[in-house]
Amino acid sequence: MKQIKIATNVEVYAYEELDAEHRQLLKAAQEAAHNAYAPYSQFHVGAALLLDDGTVITGSNQENASYPAGCCAERTALFYAGANHPNTPIRHIAIVAFNGQGQVEQISPCGICRQVLLESEQRQGSPISVWLFGREAIYRFPSASSLLPLCFGKEALE
Ligand code: THU
């Protein structure tokens, strides 16, 4: 037996270090979270995508009494982008979440959303940088694949 280590790169920012474009994207994600329909979890998530042509697309989580029928904020936004802007690459995704105490300390996309992000990235052939807006720290992953080591992607089916 031998052990290997799988490492990933993440940058950590303070809000003051963000440029205007990223502050605006955070604001869009925060505003999107207001439209979350989350009567079961009370966990309000907002996602904002910045496309190559400057378009901003937002999404929020939409729950359902039949729990698995609900959809996360990230997938709401990503599927809207795929359906309406299929040929415009996504450059960034910003994610933020609120619970009863306000903005959560650390938000991280679920496994299914990481998988969908990966597919969007592979489909467009360029990296999507992933911004996780926690209350104090902001994490930036350079790509969807860096959030999903040893991922299962479409190349496995080719
Ligand atoms: N949720 C998201 O929308 N995005 C995430 O990154 C994590 C979880 C939603 C799903 C569900 O509506 C609620 O948050 C609690 O899991």
Residue ranges per domain, the chain? Answer: 11-138
73 touches ligand 1 (CB under 6 Å): yes
Probe ligand 1: pick from 34, 41, 44, 45, max atoms within 8 Å of CB?
Answer: 45
pLDDT tens digit string along 110-126? 999 999 999 999 999 99
How many Å lie between the centroid of ligand 1 and the Cα of residue 134? 15
CA atoms of 150 and 108, how far apart (whole Å): 18
Res. 153 pLDDT band, cuts 50 70 90: confident
CA atoms within 13 A on the CB side of 130: 24
Cβ contact 29:58 at 8 Å: yes
CATH number for domain 11-138, candidates 3.30.1340.10, 3.90.700.10, 3.20.20.60, 3.40.140.10 = 3.40.140.10
The candidate with the shortest Cα–Cα distance to 59, out of 79, 39, 43, is 79
Cβ contact 20:90 at 8 Å: no
Lookup: tokens for 82: 């795929």
Q: What confidence score (pLDDT) does residue 75 get?
A: 98
Atom 3, ligand 1: residue with shortest CA distance: 72
Active site members: 74
pLDDT tens digit string along 59-109? 999 999 999 999 999 999 999 999 999 999 999 999 999 999 999 999 999
